[in-house]
Amino acid sequence: MKNRLLVPWFPVWALPVLLILAIGTVWVRLAIVRTTYEISQTDSMIRNLQQDREQEELKVTGLRSPRRLETIARVKFGLTQPKAEQVIPMQAERSLSSAR
Position 96 confidence tier, pLDDT thresholds 50, 70, 90: low
29, HSE (Cβ side, Cα atoms, 13 Å)? 6
Distance of CA 83 to the CA centre of its chain: 49
For residue range 28-66, list pLDDT tens digits in order.
999 999 999 999 999 999 999 999 999 999 999 999 999
CB atoms within 10 A of CB 75: 9
Q: How many helices (H) and strands (E) does the chain have?
A: 4, 0
The DSSP line for 54-70 is HHHHHHHHHHT-HHHHH
Can you give the pTM of this predicted structure? Answer: 0.54
